[in-house]
Amino acid sequence: MYFSKPASSRHRTVLLSCAFIVMAVLLTSNSTATAQDEDALGVYASGIVYNNPVYDSVAIVEFPFGVNRSQFEFFQPDSSDTAWYGRVFAQVDLYDPEGWVIDSANTYFSLRVEDRLQAEVEDYMIFDKLVLTAKPGTYSARVTVIDAVSKREGDYFISDVTVKPAPREKLAIAGAQTAFGITYVGPDYDGPNRRLLRNGYLVIPNPTGTYTDVDSVLYVYGEVYNLTWDPDEKTQWQITFEALGDDGVFYQNYGGRVMETPGANAAIAQSLDVSSWPSGGYKIRIVAMDLQTRESDTALLPVRIVTRQFVEYARTPKSALNPWDTLSIEQKVEVSYWSLGEEQREILQRLNAEGKRSFLKQFWAENDRDPATAVIENRAEAMQLWQYANKMFSNNAAKDNGWSTDRGRVLMTYGMYDEIDDKQAPRTGDPYQVWYYHDIREGKYFVFEDWSGSYDFRLVHSNVYGEIYSQAWEDLIKSGFTEFEGE
């Protein structure tokens, strides 16, 4: 059987078969796996806690995981069967704070493809989940996946699995997670994917919360406990969704829904349109409210939108923990270009690919703003600005040259502007923009003019030392933006 999201060229199609999930991941033609250990399976996973009061002293802890199907070895059991088969063993070990294994669970299942060529297709992911119960406390976990044919294995370590006591009377959200797809199949569903069933919903997990910029929809699942409910009276509850930037600043409001209360507990199943989101980090704020008591609870769900070049995150998450490593050497040069001095750029251009990698590695290590952290913050910021510049300022179909435009250079050199004055259609002259930098650059600004009328904005004036200066534009700005007649 097939489960498909609403038809769109920006959606993935998901195939459900033989008690496991196969997801078609849209890859660029030059994508390559970049796992740190070529002999290890690439595995990614997460830990989801459901501290439903119905379970009293323990909570259900689920560990959804994903692996690339092409990593497994397939075989034909006999000549009478033309299909090829693989074998998957998966186990989760739960550790206490002292590092002792206190519980484990495992599963074993088969993969089936029509022929060897299908088995070698790299664009498919296998999803499943493992389930444990745990008392309140703080744990860690390791999900291990083994190819039972080749004996290759890989694992994913989850450092923090926090199980809170079950809420007895207070309204609470639990189990909030992202998904590639959610469809209602009913509580009596007994199909091959029943292991992925929650409250009648078939939840196709996205353990990392990462989507590509070709996805237009993300899905959210969760549960709400301790709603006011009386079988003899009509009661209602409300769920609302907002998107925040990684810095916690409001980004988009999705509004909410008011629903009849189905019982003391209810499921959250929601699709959110992310087609306009630029690459970067976000948080989905989920607010559930009991409309009888006005009691509410909030959950924050991290999400990341990445470019096509970052799609390897979904296939080999170990490498994707550092997004810099997923870039080609050409892209690394682009991200770094405006942070380098002119002499450094000249040296870089003379190096071969390996020399450029070593040069940039040393440059960013020497310019790490905070060496005490594992992240090179200023390099991460440069990547975000590079992505934004390409998305907003590119003038080609590939949307990959915005970094080299005047606006891209200024953005990546001085950071995001504080204010913009956009004169799209003045009565005389050309459209222009003024970017203001108030807080940290004491009222500095840049003027960009659309010379061709096709959004080809070029820098024509700035009061920043070393940038192009025009007295006519300076006088115009000081005069309060009367109409510019040109020179």
pTM over 0.75: no
In degrees and rounded to multiples of 5, residue 54 shows phi and psi of -65, -25
Which residue from 202, 153, 216, 215 is spatially nearest to 15, judged by alpha carbons? Answer: 202
8 A C-beta contact, residue 25 and residue 123: yes
Q: What is the pLDDT of residues 54-99, one digit of tens each?
A: 988 999 999 999 998 999 999 998 878 889 999 999 999 999 888 8
Mean pLDDT of 185-212: 89
Mean pLDDT of 153-182: 93
State the burial class of residue 105 (Cβ atoms within 10 Å of its Cβ: 0-12, 13-18, 19+). middle
How far apart are the C-alpha atoms of 129 and 92, rounded to whole Å?
9
Sheet with 419-423: list strands edge to edge.
419-423, 432-437, 444-450, 457-462
Instruction: Return the higher-pLDDT residue of 440 and 264.
Output: 264
Q: Is residue 11 very low, low, confident or very high in pLDDT (cuts 50, 70, 90)?
A: very low
Which residue from 256, 254, 243, 386 is spatially nearest to 302, judged by alpha carbons? Answer: 243
Residue 20 is predicted with a pLDDT of 31
Both tokens of 110, joined, read 């088969």
Mean pLDDT of 240-266: 89
Q: Inform me whether the pLDDT recorded for 30 exceeds 60.
A: no
What one-letter code names the amino acid at 4?
A: S
Q: Inform me whether the pLDDT recorded for 180 exceeds 80.
A: yes
**Domain edges within the chain:** 2-320, 323-478
Query: Which is the CATH superfamily of the domain at 2-320?
Result: Immunoglobulins (2.60.40.10)
Q: Inform me whether the pLDDT recorded for 287 exceeds 60.
A: yes
Instruction: Return the higher-pLDDT residue of 200 and 430.
Output: 200
Q: Is residue 353 very low, low, confident or very high in pLDDT (cuts 50, 70, 90)?
A: confident
Q: Inform me whether the pLDDT recorded for 19 exceeds 50.
A: no
In degrees and rounded to multiples of 5, residue 2 shows phi and psi of -125, 145
Which residue from 258, 251, 247 is spatially nearest to 272, judged by alpha carbons? Answer: 251
Q: How many beta carbons lie within 10 A of that of residue 133, not counting itself?
A: 15
Q: How many beta carbons lie within 10 A of that of residue 9, not counting itself?
A: 7
Identify the helix (H) or strand (E) that includes residue 154.
Answer: strand 153-163
